């Protein structure tokens, strides 16, 4: 028996060395942790149970039968984060560059199947040269097996992807179908075709970093939801986001104890400037409402005229969607609509109530927006909010103009509670634009057109640039003081906790993708 135990131990030791010390050293020189180091850091101490450590590939071509490495380039298993079960795979770049073989894919698929059956989040730590070139179509099939499972698991368990090295070709599509993508700055990249192919096909010269590095995807494409300066910080972010998420779509998100007092939000008084065109920081409104330091922003650097993120209110997770008057006056455009729509759908899938803060002057006009389909992109947000059945509360802080009033979680599209501050202006458009259209003739014929315009503007503002017309109709449930906002929202969400909405019978809706 001793000999047998020793033989097992030898195999396990060999497996844990992956592609060998030299390749581990290379990984460290590149400021990257190894797959096992990443898992060890990510999970609670000593909680990892590895599955499939002795698996090897079955390829024989190109001398592969002479190159067997236990684990086949991916470490898979389960453990806990903050005491809660998660399934995790980490590609091991030291073994065939973390490339995906048929066997490597089977290990990931087995893990995904378990995660769905058990109802626990799946985390993928990606660091791979893509399809295992020696295995041809078997490797492509392996990717597709994973893609298929990503889709089946979507909306059932949270799926998180960290990109911690290369991620190229069709390999990017598994992370793209998960809920959130985290990237490490400087050492990770994602693209469908790399710089060499780009050069050949389009004659463009571009570096990997510029084409698909973390900042490119965080700022320009919106593919990445968060970036971190190094592996450890990225793994910290994964742990942090999980604290807002339920284990699966049948559970509520986890609360943390939060003793409540009077809950006045004095910092909110006077935050909205007198001048309706003067910007202010909506993040200060968010901070004045939520539990201290509980905001976890999603897509911070992408479409920053819209803010999306998780927060806690009285210890309970909520999703926050807010126009940001500091950027493009908080206007709705294609990117910000898509950003908020995707976030809405995530929250709705996983029972996370939504708070929508509104200060929006309308949709962004112009050929650029129209030609890139703002009609369809704006419709995504309208659709996503309309179909969301989680508790939904709206607060209009200032402008709610035009179609954007409807879209931003209005009562008409199913919001449960709609509040406005006294500074709210709910109208088809701003007073100046409105007066120029409906009083054009009167203004043109006046002795002093400027004075007439000002007079008409004031008249229009008196009638519509306030929340009272909407409140009279019941489109706004209550006009509230800024300082009582947090109290109202705490009570509002508490009242909606057992909300239920019967669903019509259909296969699925047809969101304007």
Which residues are marked as active site?
169-170, 403-404
Give the integer Cα–Cα distance in Å for 288 and 265: 6
Closest CA to 316 of 236, 266, 260: 260
Among 141, 170, 279, 403, binds ligand HXC (CB under 6 A): 170
Indicate which single residue of 121, 129, 253, 391 sits in contact with ligand HXC (rule: CB under 6 A).
129
In angstroms, give the least distance from the CB of 335 to ligand HXC.
27
For residue 332, the tally of other CB atoms under 10 A from its CB is 29
- The site map against ligand HXC for 81-120 (x = CB under 6 A) is ---------------xx-x---------------------
Angle at 401 between CA 386 and CA 493, to 5 degrees: 45
Stretch that binds ligand HXC, among 131-139, 380-388, 448-456, 482-490 (CB under 6 A): 131-139
Is residue 130 within the footprint of ligand HXC (CB under 6 A)?
A: yes
Q: Mark the segment that binds ligand HXC (CB under 6 A) among 127-135, 284-292, 306-314, 413-421.
A: 127-135
- 159 counts as binding ligand HXC under rule CB under 6 A: no
Residue 132 makes contact with ligand HXC by CB under 6 A: yes
373: tokens are 């389909």
Q: Which of 12, 51, 140, 454 binds ligand HXC (CB under 6 A)?
A: 140
Instruction: CB nearer to ligand HXC: give 129 or 330.
Output: 129
Alpha carbon distances (Å) from 473 to 204, 407, 488: 57, 18, 20
Q: Considering the complex, state which of residue 129 and residue 391 has its C-beta at the smaller distance from ligand HXC.
A: 129
Minimum separation from the CB atom of position 213 to ligand HXC (A): 13
Cβ nearer to ligand HXC, comparing 127 with 416: 127
Least distance (Å) from ligand HXC to the CB of residue 457?
A: 58
Q: Which two tokens stand for residue 258?
A: 């939060």
* Least distance between ligand HXC and beta carbon 133 (Å): 4
Q: Which is nearer to ligand HXC, 167 or 390 (CB)?
A: 167
Q: Which is nearer to ligand HXC, 53 or 140 (CB)?
A: 140
Distance, C-alpha 170 to centroid of its chain: 21
Q: How many residues bind ligand HXC (CB under 6 A)?
A: 16
* Closest distance of CB 166 from ligand HXC, Å: 4
E strand intervals along 185-281: 189-191, 226-228
Q: How far is the CB of 419 from ligand HXC (least distance, A)?
A: 48
Q: Does 73 bind ligand HXC (CB under 6 A)?
A: no
**Coil, helix or strand at residue 19:** coil
Residue 133 engages ligand HXC in binding (rule: CB under 6 A): yes
Phi, psi of 420 (to 5 degrees): -140, 150
- Smaller CB separation from ligand HXC, 135 or 457: 135
Rounded CA gap, 380 and 221, in Å? 17
Asked if 168 touches ligand HXC (CB under 6 A), the answer is: yes
186 touches ligand HXC (CB under 6 A): no
From 115, 171, 282, 379, residue interacting with ligand HXC (rule: CB under 6 A): 171
Question: Which residue stretch of 52-60, 118-126, 165-173, 280-288 sits at the interface with ligand HXC (rule: CB under 6 A)?
Answer: 165-173
Beta strands 84-91 and 122-126, pairing class: parallel
The answer to the question of residue 184 lying near ligand HXC (CB under 6 A) is: no
Q: Is 131 in the site for ligand HXC (CB under 6 A)?
A: yes
Per-residue burial over 390-421, b = 16 or more CB atoms within 10 Å of its CB, e = otherwise? bbbbbbbbbbbbbebbebbbbbebebbbbbbb
* Spatial separation of the C-alpha atoms in residues 463 and 438, rounded to whole Å: 14
Q: Could you say whether residue 175 binds ligand HXC (CB under 6 A)?
A: no
- Half-sphere exposure of residue 95, counting CA atoms within 13 Å on the CB side? 27
246: nearest Cα among 390, 116, 121:
121
Name which of 57, 120, 46, 113 is nearest 87 in CA terms: 120
Rounded Cα–Cα distance for residues 511 and 513 (Å): 6
Q: Report the nearest approach of ligand HXC to the CB of residue 408 (Å).
A: 38
169 scored as a contact of ligand HXC (CB under 6 A) = yes
Of 143 and 343, the one with the shorter C-beta distance to ligand HXC is 143
By the 8 A CB rule, do 249 and 348 touch?
A: no
Choice from 78, 87, 89, 143 touching ligand HXC (CB under 6 A) = 143
Residue 30 to residue 17: CA distance in whole angstroms? 18
**From 41-49, 163-171, 378-386, 447-455, span contacting ligand HXC (CB under 6 A):** 163-171
3-state secondary structure of 255: coil
What is the per-residue DSSP string for 137-161? HHHHHHHHHHHHHHHHHTTTS-EEE
> In Å, how far are 28, 57, 458 from 447, measured between CA atoms?
78, 87, 18
Q: Which is nearer to ligand HXC, 74 or 395 (CB)?
A: 74
Roughly what angle, to the nearest 10 degrees, separates helices 231-242 and 35-42?
40
List residues binding ligand HXC (CB under 6 A): 23, 96-97, 99, 129-133, 140, 143, 166, 168-171
């Amino acid at each position: 028996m001793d000999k047998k135990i020793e033989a097992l131990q030898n195999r396990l030791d060999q497996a844990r060395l992956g592609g060998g010390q030299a390749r581990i050293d290379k990984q460290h020189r590149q400021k990257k942790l190894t797959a096992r180091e990443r898992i060890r850091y990510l999970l609670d101490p000593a909680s990892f149970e590895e599955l499939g450590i002795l698996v090897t590939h079955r390829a024989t071509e190109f001398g592969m039968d002479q190159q067997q490495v236990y684990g086949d380039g991916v470490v898979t298993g389960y453990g806990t984060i903050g005491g809660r079960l998660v399934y995790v795979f980490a590609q091991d770049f030291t073994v065939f560059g973390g490339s995906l073989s048929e066997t490597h894919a089977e290990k990931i698929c087995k893990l995904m199947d378990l995660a769905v059956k058990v109802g626990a989040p799946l985390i993928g730590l990606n660091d791979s040269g893509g399809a295992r070139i020696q295995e041809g179509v078997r490797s492509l099939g392996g990717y597709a097996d994973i893609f298929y499972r990503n889709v089946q698991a979507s909306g059932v368990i949270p799926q998180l992807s960290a990109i911690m090295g290369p991620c190229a070709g069709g390999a990017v599509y598994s992370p793209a179908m998960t809920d959130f993508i985290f990237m490490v700055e400087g050492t990770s990249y994602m693209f469908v075709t790399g710089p060499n192919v780009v050069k050949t096909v389009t004659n463009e010269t571009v570096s990997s970093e510029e084409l698909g590095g973390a900042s490119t995807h965080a700022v320009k494409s919106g593919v990445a939801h968060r970036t971190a300066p190094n592996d450890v910080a990225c793994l910290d972010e994964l742990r942090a986001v999980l604290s807002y998420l339920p284990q699966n779509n049948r559970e509520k998100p986890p609360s943390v104890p939060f003793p409540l007092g009077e809950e006045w939000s004095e910092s909110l008084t006077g935050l909205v400037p007198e001048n309706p065109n003067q910007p202010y920081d909506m993040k200060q409104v968010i901070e004045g409402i939520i539990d201290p330091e509980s905001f976890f922003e999603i897509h911070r650097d992408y479409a920053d005229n819209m803010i999306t993120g998780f927060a806690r209110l009285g210890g309970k997770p909520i999703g926050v969607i807010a126009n940001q008057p500091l950027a493009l006056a908080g206007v709705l455009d294609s990117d910000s609509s898509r950003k908020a729509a995707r976030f809405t759908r995530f929250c709705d899938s996983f029972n996370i109530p939504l708070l929508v803060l509104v200060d929006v002057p309308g949709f962004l006009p112009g050929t650029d927006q129209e030609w890139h389909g703002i009609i369809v992109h704006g419709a995504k947000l309208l659709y996503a909010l309309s179909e969301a059945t989680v508790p939904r509360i709206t607060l209009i802080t200032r402008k709610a103009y035009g179609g954007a009033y409807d879209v931003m979680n209005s009562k008409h599209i199913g919001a449960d509670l709609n509040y406005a501050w006294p500074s709210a202006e709910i109208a088809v458009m701003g007073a100046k634009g409105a007066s120029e259209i409906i009083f054009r003739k009167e203004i043109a014929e006046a002795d002093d057109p400027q004075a007439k315009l000002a007079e008409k503007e004031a008249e229009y503002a008196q009638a519509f640039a306030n929340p009272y017309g909407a409140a009279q109709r019941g489109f706004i449930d209550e006009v509230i003081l800024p300082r009582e906002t947090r109290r109202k929202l705490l009570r509002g969400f508490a009242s909606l906790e057992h909300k239920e909405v019967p669903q019509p019978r259909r296969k699925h809706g047809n969101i304007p993708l």
